């Protein structure tokens, strides 16, 4: 469960001067989580580097490999954040494939789009960024050859609905890869 921290100055009982205290409250609703990810978008990649000691880059390459995505496939990177997995998937499916990066954070998608504009590989032109919810995917049934979801599953409000939606839009016999990166 994600948490939101707020710092406050409050005097301890029996003391006259305030001390700095952290108040941690769980982020329970989707709107709170969306606001949190919009706030951290500019530093999201640095946070992933710090929290995983850079290991997330290896995990993401493994996720793409295990996804089964191949040249010409139509793939979805769900809860795509700043787009790391989408860029790797784009290299895998090539210019004839299609990658959709979906996230509920408009700011994360803005970072992903900016990164796409700065990169020069032709295959990155096959990436489309979509703002949306993992709980109500805006795609028809059996649409994707592969789906990846890096760190997002731990942040969805309704795990079961997210899984049902993934399987609904995934073609029969295709792969859905979600590393358990906690």
Domain that holds residue 96: 35-177
Whether residue 110 lies inside any domain: the answer is yes
Residue 84 has a CB neighbour count (10 Å cut-off) of 24
Please answer whether residues 55 and 180 qualify as being in contact, where contact means their C-beta atoms are separated by less than 8 angstroms: no
Residue 96's pLDDT is 95
Q: Phi and psi (nearest 5°) for 121?
A: -70, 135
Give the chain's largest Cα–Cα span: 70
Report helix, strand or coil for 36.
helix
Tell me the H-state helices in 11-151. Answer: 30-40, 44-52, 55-67, 84-93, 106-118
Place of tokens 């599953």: 153
Whether residue 28 lies inside any domain: the answer is no
Whether residue 113 lies inside any domain: the answer is yes
| Segment 116-141, tens digit of pLDDT | 999 878 889 999 999 999 999 999 99
Whether residue 55 lies inside any domain: the answer is yes
What is the H or E stretch that residue 22 is in?
A: strand 18-26
- CA distances for 128 relative to 47, 76, 166, 167, angstroms: 24, 10, 18, 21
Which of 20-34, 129-143, 149-163, 167-181 is predicted with the least confidence, judged by mean pLDDT? 20-34
Using CA atoms, how far apart are residues 68 and 61, in angstroms rounded to an integer? Answer: 12
Residue 175's pLDDT is 63
Q: What is the pTM of this model?
A: 0.76
Whether residue 16 lies inside any domain: the answer is no
Whether residue 115 lies inside any domain: the answer is yes
- Which CATH number characterizes residue 88's domain? 3.40.50.150
| Segment 10-32, tens digit of pLDDT | 555 555 554 444 445 555 677 88
Please answer whether residues 137 and 104 qualify as being in contact, where contact means their C-beta atoms are separated by less than 8 angstroms: no
Using CA atoms, how far apart are residues 38 and 83, in angstroms rounded to an integer? Answer: 14
Residue 22's pLDDT is 43
Using CA atoms, how far apart are residues 156 and 93, in angstroms rounded to an integer? Answer: 27
Percent of the chain with pLDDT over 90: 48
Query: How large is the average pLDDT for residues 129-156?
Result: 92
| Segment 94-120, tens digit of pLDDT | 999 999 999 999 999 999 999 999 987
Whether residue 45 lies inside any domain: the answer is yes
Count up the domains in the chain and report the number.
1
Query: Is the pLDDT score of 9 beyond 80?
Result: no
Whether residue 10 lies inside any domain: the answer is no
């Amino acid at each position: 469960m994600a948490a939101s921290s707020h710092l406050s100055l409050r005097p301890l009982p029996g003391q006259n001067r305030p001390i700095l205290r952290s108040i941690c409250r769980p982020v329970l609703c989707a709107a709170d989580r969306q606001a949190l990810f919009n706030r951290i978008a500019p530093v999201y990649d640095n946070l992933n580097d710090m929290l995983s000691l850079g290991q997330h880059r290896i995990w993401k390459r493994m996720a793409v490999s295990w996804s089964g995505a191949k040249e010409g496939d139509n793939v979805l990177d769900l809860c795509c954040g700043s787009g790391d997995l989408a860029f790797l998937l784009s290299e895998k499916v090539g210019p004839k494939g299609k990658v959709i990066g979906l996230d509920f954070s408009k700011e994360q998608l803005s970072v992903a789009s900016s990164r796409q504009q700065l990169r020069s590989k032709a295959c990155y032109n096959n990436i489309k960024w979509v703002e949306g919810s993992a709980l109500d995917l805006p795609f028809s049934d059996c649409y994707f050859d592969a789906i990846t979801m890096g760190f997002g599953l731990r942040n969805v409000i309704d795990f079961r609905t997210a899984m049902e939606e993934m399987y609904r839009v995934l073609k029969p016999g295709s792969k859905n890869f979600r590393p358990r990166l906690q």
